[in-house]
A and B are shown apart, each in its own frame.
Chain A
Amino acid sequence: MLRKFFWMIVACASLLPVSGAFAAPAHPPFPVESFFLDNGMQVVVLPDHRAAIVTHMVWYRVGAADEPAGQSGVAHFLEHLLFKRTEKLNPGDFAKIVARNGGRHNAFTGQDYTGYYQTVAKDRLPLMMALEADRMANLRLEDEDIKAERDVILEERSMRVDGRPSSLLSEEMDALLFRAHPYGIPVIGWRHEMEALSLQDSWAFYKKYYNPANAILIIAGDVTTAQVRDLAEKYYGPIAGTALPKRARVQEPPMRGPRRVELADSRVKQPSWRRFYATPSYSAGQDKELAPALDVLMDIIAGGTTSRLYRHLVVDQKVAVSVGGWYQGWSFDPAKLALYATPPKAMEKGGEHGLDLVETQIDLVLNDVKQNGVTEDEVRRAVNKLVAEATYARDSIDSMAQIFGRGLTTGLSIADIQGWTARIEAVTPADVQRAAQRIFQPERSVTGLLLQSANPAMKGEQP
């Protein structure tokens, strides 16, 4: 899957699996209706009557990239705190009530959004709305909750990042790629800043961003738009909305040359190679019209075992056992694409880790695409695959809701989301070559090497 790493940038409140990696948007005429409440809350309805269940999601147009300087992790911390207390609920009550009603629920935080969801039998929808509206308006924070939950997010950071050398490398590479823009700061936060997150920080973030005018309600499943309108007006309508100014984050200056980082760690068992390129997204950046061609390009060079990189590095040259990549096109600000490869175990004999060979061969493939382009056949296959994903996505109400939530919080309109497949179908081999030429430039890149080391642990890890 091109986008299987979507969830890597998302930190969840609990480990309940979030079903379905992100797939491509819907092919028209997928039924979707949208309207706004008087308080500014956008409502999106995605009817699917195959089973008597609904997914209820509230997405806030705020994420880690909107945090005040020095408070990294507060968006995600607040997401956890929303499960604690309101004027009417004590810690644990929220989860208990959802469970008593047979619901599955969780929450997630990304750079551009924070989302909360429950999947329930359709007759439980009013209750879920009551609960979600309650914590949108009536959150309470208490010192004892702050302290215990801060320990929880620190353990989460240990588990997701500090205990995994490959996650530490990605964190380093993001920090190098985005030197001004907050995408360079991890969603979970820097440990030293997480340790200092206070009740006041969380409260200020909540008061500023959590209101209906900054939220999107998405209901997918066995409902009609009329039903949703009535319920949404009843539960969310009474909450006052205050429109926020358009998000304007610090923008990145141009890159002047290739950047590199090496991390060596005794816990690494197998060296690996990775590279990020700065790219436009669908919503932002110079050359943002290249975004669909970048999706097609990434499928051609890095999508599965028929891809250019797999054929060349793994099948023909045998310098890697795995190679792949992904493009993070649905971002509010210009983002990145990533390539990664692992050399075979046998390559490390005699002190050689094999990463230089990997890098040379990858550059060869990228340069070939830049110079000679790709074939009609390759484009056709990639387009077919991407467009088919739109049909497959309709099979899951969760993934439909995810697609619209992610699109709308990263600057796309419903028409943009509906029109995605048409834009993919319009991509030509010349577009793909142009995108490769524009993006695969050394000065847009950060290359990272993960190496084995005799040293016990790398710097920056907690003592």
Chain B
Amino acid sequence: MKRYFVALSFFAAALTVCLPLRSHALVNIQEVTSPGGIRAWLVENHTIPMLSMKMAFIGGAAWDPDEKAGLSNMVASLLDEGGGTLTSHDFQIALEEHAISLGFSASRDSLHGSMRTLRKHHEKAFALLRLALTAPRFDPQPLERMRKAILTGLARRGESPQAVASDYWFTKMWGKHPYGRIVAGRPETVATITRSDLKGFAKDRLTKRNLVVAVVGDITAAELATLLDKTFGDLAEGEKVKSLPPATQQAESGVWVKERPGGQTTVVFGHGGIKRDDPDWYAAYVMNYILGGGGLTGRLSDAVREERGLAYSVYSYFYPLRHGGLFMGQVATQNARAGEAMAVIHGEISRLASEGVTEEELNDAKTYLTGSYPLEFDSSGSIAGQLLGMQILGFSPNYIQKRNSYIADVSRAQISRVAARLLQADKIVWSIVGKPDDLDKLTAVTDVPVVSRGVKPSP
């Protein structure tokens, strides 16, 4: 302890409270509305002759019909495979000719698009984006090519212990709720998706009502307004995406083991969490930073990695979705000590739930979380990502100015209350891939059933 004080006084600046950069200096957000009524957020920056755009359509893989699970993902994989009169090859060549990168992906809650272009080719880039969204071809050849790639990808997921443990955990946590499915779908559903399913998706789901757009870089508001109409004007107005039933934890606490050869056991753990609009969100966020959110600095990392050398990495986080929330984490450790690592994690979660956090931990968490916020704005792409996320959550642009005060306002008493509410060590669902030898170390501290089975043959 003594040495610690010596250390801190040597690095005198470390003692001073970090004054976060004044947030309003970070970026200047303009809300652009086109003559046709399409809205986007813009941050102009003319230093580098390029721009980044990120966009989303609310409503992702969880909105796919169960028998067509994977539809959103397949659409995302095919939107850059031809549009208008351009076939897949022509479309890809056009992107390449102009060094434009354009890609789409699906998540549980939305379908995302991302584009990066040089200033000199930005009109071309938006023109190609228009074709991709308003006149996607879904030609049979690329469709079959992507179907094969997706099926192969689903098979290859089985090679990653992290993916297997995580997929297994989601099915345990959320059962039949669409959030419990893998975004890419199941082999049998991917096999049945047809061209008319894809066309139907483009017509019904790629709509103005569910569109969110963020642009950062070398373009003016007036230029963007014109391009918004040109690019998105032909999309259908559409209906606001319907709500899903709330997702809640389905499985009782338990240890679910999938055996896998090798020396290491991979564990995904957690239980139900909260949504982003929960009044306790910021307290939960700060609390989790102290528990397992800080890379090398959290309690879990101290106890599991630094003190015991049990793992290379261990972390936890709150995962909020539109219609449910999770608290989850991950660790990979040697088979012989997997149960020990799990018992340590269980112990740290219980301790936080019953004892809360110290004043010093809370102050450290606040200085990090507020001080590092400006680092989220370090490139056009990351700024566009921030802008998009805020719009999806329905925030206003001045969230950026307020955000650090939400963190700074979190108190120890709040964290104690929120920890007791949200952390329930004995409700944890543990999904395990490997061959743990010492699960008795875990069952000695928490009364949970252990269900073990061999590796399921690949789909």
Question: B166 in the interface, Cβ–Cβ < 8 Å?
Answer: no
Q: Return the contact of B375 from the options A53, A96, A127, A165 (Cβ within 8 A).
A: A53
Check B3–A90 contact: CB distance below 8 A. Answer: yes
Identify 14 new A-B residue pairs, CB closer than 8 A, beyond the known A90-B3, A102-B372, A267-B159.
A14-B296, A51-B377, A53-B21, A83-B296, A90-B7, A96-B297, A99-B368, A148-B306, A155-B309, A156-B312, A269-B159, A270-B155, A345-B155, A346-B148
Given contacts A14-B295, A91-B306, A126-B13, contact A155 B97 (CB under 8 A): no
Question: A306 in the interface, Cβ–Cβ < 8 Å?
Answer: yes
Given contacts A381-B96, A395-B50, contact A152 B311 (CB under 8 A): yes
Given contacts A164-B160, A269-B155, A270-B159, contact A130 B11 (CB under 8 A): yes
Check A101–B96 contact: CB distance below 8 A. Answer: no
* Distance (whole angstroms) from the CB of A7 to the closest CB of chain B: 15
Question: A462 in the interface, Cβ–Cβ < 8 Å?
Answer: yes
Question: B93 in the interface, Cβ–Cβ < 8 Å?
Answer: yes
Question: B47 in the interface, Cβ–Cβ < 8 Å?
Answer: yes
Q: Which residues of B contact A152 (CB under 8 A)?
A: 305, 309, 311-312
Check A388–B99 contact: CB distance below 8 A. Answer: yes
Question: A151 in the interface, Cβ–Cβ < 8 Å?
Answer: yes
Which residues in A have some Cβ–Cβ distance to B below 8 Å?
A: 13-16, 19-20, 48, 50-53, 83, 88-93, 95-97, 99-104, 106, 119-121, 124, 126-127, 130-131, 147-156, 158-159, 162-166, 266-270, 304-306, 311, 314-315, 318, 321-322, 342, 344-346, 381, 384-385, 387-389, 391-392, 394-398, 456-457, 461-463
Segment at the A interface, from B127-135, B228-236, B378-386: B378-386
Check A100–B370 contact: CB distance below 8 A. Answer: no
Given contacts A50-B45, A148-B308, A384-B99, contact A100 B378 (CB under 8 A): no
* Distance (whole angstroms) from the CB of A20 to the closest CB of chain B: 8
Q: Which residues of A contact B307 (CB under 8 A)?
A: 148
Q: Which residues of B contact A102 (CB under 8 A)?
A: 18, 20, 367-368, 370-375
Check A159–B332 contact: CB distance below 8 A. Answer: yes
Write out, one digit per residue, whether chain B residues 16-28 have a CB within 8 A of any chain A CB (1) or not (0). Answer: 0010110001100
Q: Which residues of A contact B263 (CB under 8 A)?
A: 158, 162-163, 461-463
* Distance (whole angstroms) from the CB of A4 to the closest CB of chain B: 12
Check B296–A162 contact: CB distance below 8 A. Answer: no
Q: Which residues of B contact A147 (CB under 8 A)?
A: 309
* Distance (whole angstroms) from the CB of A433 to the closest CB of chain B: 21
Q: Which residues of B contact A306 (CB under 8 A)?
A: 89, 92-93, 96
Q: Identify which of A52, A158, A385 gathers the most chain B CB atoms within 10 Å of its CB.
A: A158
Cα A165 to Cα B261 in complex, Å, equals: 11
* Distance (whole angstroms) from the CB of A130 to the closest CB of chain B: 6
Check B152–A101 contact: CB distance below 8 A. Answer: no
Question: B414 in the interface, Cβ–Cβ < 8 Å?
Answer: no
* Distance (whole angstroms) from the CB of B99 to the closest CB of chain A: 3
Q: Which residues of A contact B297 (CB under 8 A)?
A: 92, 95-96, 99
Check B364–A99 contact: CB distance below 8 A. Answer: yes
> Which A residue's beta carbon lies closest to that of B144?
A318
Given contacts A101-B18, A155-B311, A306-B96, contact A163 B7 (CB under 8 A): no
Q: Identify which of A83, A162, A267 gathers the most chain B CB atoms within 10 Å of its CB.
A: A267
Check A314–B145 contact: CB distance below 8 A. Answer: yes
A selection of 16 A-B contacts at a CB cut-off of 8 Å is A20-B379, A51-B377, A88-B6, A97-B8, A100-B367, A102-B367, A130-B13, A152-B309, A155-B264, A163-B332, A269-B156, A304-B92, A306-B96, A315-B145, A318-B148, A321-B145
Q: Return the contact of A391 from the options B6, B50, B97, B151 (Cβ within 8 A).
A: B50
Write out, one digit per residue, whether chain B residues 274-310 have a CB within 8 A of any chain A CB (1) or not (0). Answer: 0000000000000000000011110000100111111
Check A155–B332 contact: CB distance below 8 A. Answer: yes
Check A269–B158 contact: CB distance below 8 A. Answer: yes
Q: Which residues of B contact A318 (CB under 8 A)?
A: 145, 148
Q: Which residues of B contact A391 (CB under 8 A)?
A: 48-50, 118
Question: B444 in the interface, Cβ–Cβ < 8 Å?
Answer: no
Q: Which residues of A contact B262 (CB under 8 A)?
A: 158, 162-163, 267, 457, 461
Q: Return the contact of A15 from the options B89, B96, B312, B379 (Cβ within 8 A).
A: B312
Q: Which residues of B contact A83 (CB under 8 A)?
A: 296
For the complex of A and B, 10 pairs with smallest distance between CB atoms:
A102-B371, A151-B309, A388-B99, A148-B309, A462-B263, A156-B312, A158-B264, A269-B158, A457-B261, A15-B313
Question: B73 in the interface, Cβ–Cβ < 8 Å?
Answer: no
Q: Which residues of A contact B118 (CB under 8 A)?
A: 388, 391
Cα A164 to Cα B158 in complex, Å, equals: 11
* Distance (whole angstroms) from the CB of B150 to the closest CB of chain A: 9
Question: B334 in the interface, Cβ–Cβ < 8 Å?
Answer: yes
Check A89–B7 contact: CB distance below 8 A. Answer: yes
Q: Which residues of B contact A267 (CB under 8 A)?
A: 159, 260-262
Check A321–B7 contact: CB distance below 8 A. Answer: no
Q: Which residues of A contact B8 (CB under 8 A)?
A: 93, 97
Given contacts A50-B45, A88-B10, A270-B152, contact A162 B99 (CB under 8 A): no
Check B26–A51 contact: CB distance below 8 A. Answer: yes
Given contacts A88-B10, A100-B14, A103-B372, contact A342 B152 (CB under 8 A): yes
> Which A residue's beta carbon lies closest to that of B266?
A163
Question: B161 in the interface, Cβ–Cβ < 8 Å?
Answer: yes
Check A131–B11 contact: CB distance below 8 A. Answer: yes
Q: Return the contact of A101 from the options B14, B156, B158, B302 (Cβ within 8 A).
A: B14
CB proximity to A under 8 Å, residues B133-183? 141, 145, 148-149, 151-153, 155-161
